[in-house]
Structure formats: C-alpha cells, structure tokens
Amino acid sequence: MGYPYRHASETTTILSRYMGEPEGRPLSGWLERGGYESLRTALDLEPEQITTIVKESGLRGRGGAGFPTGLKWSFMPQQPAGPHYLCANADESEPGAFKDREIMRWTPHLLIEGCLIAARAIRAQHIYVYVRGEYFPVTRILNEAVVEAYEAGYIGEDILGSGWSCDLTVHLGAGAYIAGEETGLMSSLMGGRAEPWMKPPFPAQRGVFGAPTTVNNVETLASVPGIVANGAAWYTQWGTEKSPGTKLWCCSGHLSKPGNYELELGLPLRDVLYDVCGGPPEGRRVKAVLPGGSSTAFLTDDELDCATTYEGLQEAGSALGTASPIVLDESASIVPAMRRIAQFYAHESCGQCVQCREGTAWITKILRRIEEGEGEPRDIDTLYDLCEQLTGRTICVLADSVVFPLRSSLDKFRGEYEALMRRSSAVAT
C-alpha cells in the first residue's frame, strides 16, 4: 500500500480529495466533510429521477468496459415484483489497478453513500460489497464503517425516516481474478465457484439469487454522491462529451513518480506519463505502455499523443480500461514482460472454455520457450493463430484480455521476438 496520492488540482479532486486524511475515515469525520448529505438529497427524489441525473452526467462504468451507468440502472425492472440487488465490485485484481482499494481505505463512507444512492435508484433492498479476497485491512475498515452507518440510521430499516429500507453486507471474496467478472462475482457470492455464465440472461434480468441485479465498480459508485449533490452539469464540466468527469489513475512501472492520481479525462497520455508521473527515470524514453491495465494493447512512445478518454484510447488502438498504465522504458524486454502477463491469465482462467484454458496455457508455454532462447520462427505464426482462436469465442472476455497485449506486442515488437529466435538458431548451428 505504498503508492503516494497526488491531486491534479483542487478542482479535479472529487474522489481523492480526502485520501491521505485519516480524520475523514470515521463517520464523525465524514459528516464534517459533508458526508451523507447527498444521500439525503437522493431520499427526496424518486428512483427514476436519480437515474436521470446519473444518465445526464454521462458517468461511465469504471470497472473497465466504460458502460454508461445511468443506462445500466435503467435496465432494472421499474416495478419490482420481488427483491432487487446491488453488487459493488471491489474485486480489483487487474494487474496495474490499485484505485478501489484506496477509495475504501480512506473514504469507506463515500462508497457506502454511493451504494445507497445507487440502490435507491434501482430499487434494491440489499447491497453486497464483494471485496477482493486479499484485501484484509480494507475489509476491516469497510466493516467498521458499515457498523457506524447502521448505528446512525444510514443503512437498515426506514433509512433516515424515509420509509425506505436497505441492508448492506460486506463479502470477502475467494481470491480469484475471475471473481471480478460480474457473473463470476455473483456465482461466488451465491456460494459457488467464481465461474462466469453466458449472457443473456444479463444481471438486470437474472442475477444474484435469480433476482434482478446491478453490478457496479467501486469507483463508479463513489462518483455518484458528488453527481447527485451537485448535478449533472457540474460533472460534465470535466472531460469530454463521451468521457465526462474525472478518473483515478493508477500509474506504475518505469516512472519517476508512480502513484494514484485523480485527473480530468481527456489529457494527452504523454502528459499523464511525462508531466504528471515524471516519465521514466534517468531521462529514458517510454518503450511501451499498457495504458488501461494488463488487458489493453501496448502503445509505443510515438503513440502517446492520444487523449485519455474512452474514445481517444480506442482510436489509438488500445483502451482506457481501468486507467492503470503500466510503463516499460527502454531498459525492459518485451518478451519476458508479455510472458509474465500471459502467465497471470493462464493461472486465473477458470477453465470452463477450452480456448481460454488451453490457449492461455499454450501462449505462456510458447512465450517461455522463446524467452529461454528455444523458440522457432513458426512460433510467431502460432501465437497469431492463438490470438484468433481466443477472440470472441468464450463465455467471458478473460481470453480476449490476453490477446490485446499479445497481438500488439507481436505487431510492434516483432524484432525482439525474432532476436531471441536468432540467438537460438545460432546456438543450434
């Protein structure tokens, strides 16, 4: 938990404003900072009014896919015949991502407040916060905050005398990356293995315990109180039309100033890496960056002048993902880095789909062979072929996740693969 927090400016610190301030963590400190005022506002609104505000704000899901949050909420049945659920996705296992942890660590009541507002909007009676299995200290902090919120009447029966009741359970996950995929999360929550299921049915049709469910990322939910308190126009003052607001960045790898930064969406990626994070140490250049975390395509130093928006990074051939750039400078080798990434996905594949189970394992094996100087020229074709086999054919997109960095590494750094192979053929002759 050693990364620093740096605020871009006073006006762009919505989520990170109280990070680094332990006084804001307990309920008393949170109330002094205006906490739960937004919930009071939401309790005076009809559920669909809350959804409209969030829709107008343009907030997009921060779990990786960037799906519009208000639209997702509007898929929930408007006249519930039975229970509805909200799941806050706090599984945060994507290599490179360390933002949800910091929200929960410093401002647990911000997440609770966001969950309650979202639950009211989707007419949920129960909220589950599914926390990554390894996040023990964060879970303790969250549990303490939940107890405080129950005692103060923010969670439970007849919340603040509104007539609306909602419970909240913190659930410590089973320690698997795939439990972060929304259907895997729900399978795990219901006591099964974290195995994703085919969609449809979508969670809003049939989710936890067979009931309509919305799954939202922690950062998404933590963005909601500010939007409800200040209005959609306040939020859209930052970012672009398609990517409004601010975003927590998790910047790691070869950077002089790695850390968590809250930034307005839309800055050039080059500015984020070089100006905000100080660039690679000792004046070296960026060789490659995975801008949105390990499941996004590599960009090179020549490609960093794109906007840090959902649309900007897509145009550049990659993705915003969880906004977790992992930077490799000129001193790094691509093949071992790519092998390490593939190894992660092979380890975390739940094994239900042959393409994913076998494909990620074979990719890892081939990359290791190349890395160890025993590759053959045809291995590159095999890797491209595996990219084809793994794309769009599986229950969830974990398989696709390894393809983005792999294919881009082959396209952009083929020479590094071939150099290792030349070494092996030189040894053989």
Ligand X SMILES: Cc1cc2nc3c(=O)[nH]c(=O)nc-3n(C[C@H](O)[C@H](O)[C@H](O)COP(=O)(O)O)c2cc1C
Task: Name which position in 67, 75, 136, 209 contacts ligand X (CB under 6 A).
Answer: 67
CA-based nearest residue to 192, from 206, 173, 177, 170? 173
Contacts of residue 338, Cβ cutoff 8 Å, sequence gap at least 6: 367, 405, 406, 409
Phi and psi torsions of 238, nearest 5°: -105, 155
Phi and psi torsions of 349, nearest 5°: -60, 135
Q: Least distance to ligand SF4 from the beta carbon of 96, Å? A: 19
Task: Name which position in 47, 63, 321, 375 contacts ligand X (CB under 6 A).
Answer: 63
Q: Least distance to ligand X from the beta carbon of 339, Å? A: 19
Task: Name which position in 267, 396, 402, 421 contacts ligand SF4 (CB under 6 A).
Answer: 396
Dist. CA 272–CA 268, nearest whole Å: 7
| C-alpha 360 chain-centroid distance | 21
Query: Which partner, ligand SF4, ligand X, none, binds residue 180 by CB below 5 to 8 Å per kind?
Result: ligand X
Q: Least distance to ligand SF4 from the beta carbon of 357, Å? A: 5
Cβ(166)–Cβ(159) below 8 Å: yes
Toward ligand SF4, which CB reaches closer, 313 or 356? Answer: 356
Cα angle 287, 289, 294; round to 5: 140
User: CA neighbours within 13 Å on the CB side: how many for 204?
Assistant: 15
**Residue 102 binds ligand X (CB under 6 A):** no
Structure tokens at 343: 């190894």
Cβ(322)–Cβ(96) below 8 Å: yes
**Residue 75 binds ligand X (CB under 6 A):** no
**Residue 394 binds ligand SF4 (CB under 6 A):** yes
In what order do the strands lie in the sheet containing 5-7? 5-7, 259-264, 246-253, 326-329, 286-290, 299-300
Residues in the chain: 429
CA-based nearest residue to 114, from 220, 237, 26, 265? 220
In what order do the strands lie in the sheet containing 213-217? 167-172, 126-131, 85-90, 213-217
**Residue 396 binds ligand X (CB under 6 A):** yes
Toward ligand SF4, which CB reaches closer, 135 or 345? Answer: 345
Query: Which partner, ligand X, ligand SF4, none, binds residue 386 by CB below 5 to 8 Å per kind?
Result: none
**Residue 220 binds ligand X (CB under 6 A):** yes
Alpha carbon of 197 to those of 161, 184, 201, 209, 228: distances in Å? 39, 7, 9, 14, 33
Task: Name which position in 24, 58, 64, 225 contacts ligand X (CB under 6 A).
Answer: 64
**Residue 180 binds ligand X (CB under 6 A):** yes
Dist. CA 337–CA 57, nearest whole Å: 38
Q: Least distance to ligand X from the beta carbon of 292, Å? A: 12
Structure tokens at 4: 């620093």
**Residue 296 binds ligand X (CB under 6 A):** no
Q: Which stretch binds ligand X (CB under 6 A): 76-84, 143-151, 176-184, 366-374?
A: 176-184
**Residue 93 binds ligand X (CB under 6 A):** yes
Dist. CA 62–CA 263, nearest whole Å: 14
Query: Tell me, what DSSP letter sits at residue 290?
Result: E
Cβ(118)–Cβ(214) below 8 Å: yes
**Residue 387 binds ligand SF4 (CB under 6 A):** no
Q: Which stretch binds ligand SF4 (CB under 6 A): 14-22, 86-94, 225-233, 349-357?
A: 349-357
Toward ligand SF4, which CB reaches closer, 337 or 353? Answer: 353
Query: Which partner, ligand X, ligand SF4, none, binds residue 399 by CB below 5 to 8 Å per kind?
Result: ligand SF4
Query: Which partner, ligand X, ligand SF4, none, binds residue 349 by CB below 5 to 8 Å per kind?
Result: ligand SF4
**Residue 195 binds ligand X (CB under 6 A):** no
**Residue 168 binds ligand SF4 (CB under 6 A):** no
Task: Name which position in 24, 66, 196, 321 contacts ligand SF4 (CB under 6 A).
Answer: 196
- Within 355-384, the residues that bind ligand SF4 by CB under 6 A are 356-357
Task: Name which position in 395, 403, 410, 420 contacts ligand SF4 (CB under 6 A).
Answer: 395
Task: Name which position in 76, 92, 222, 293 contacts ligand X (CB under 6 A).
Answer: 92
Q: Please report, as ranges, the residues that interact with ligand X according to CB under 6 A.
A: 61-65, 67, 72, 89, 91-94, 177-178, 180-182, 215-217, 220, 396-398
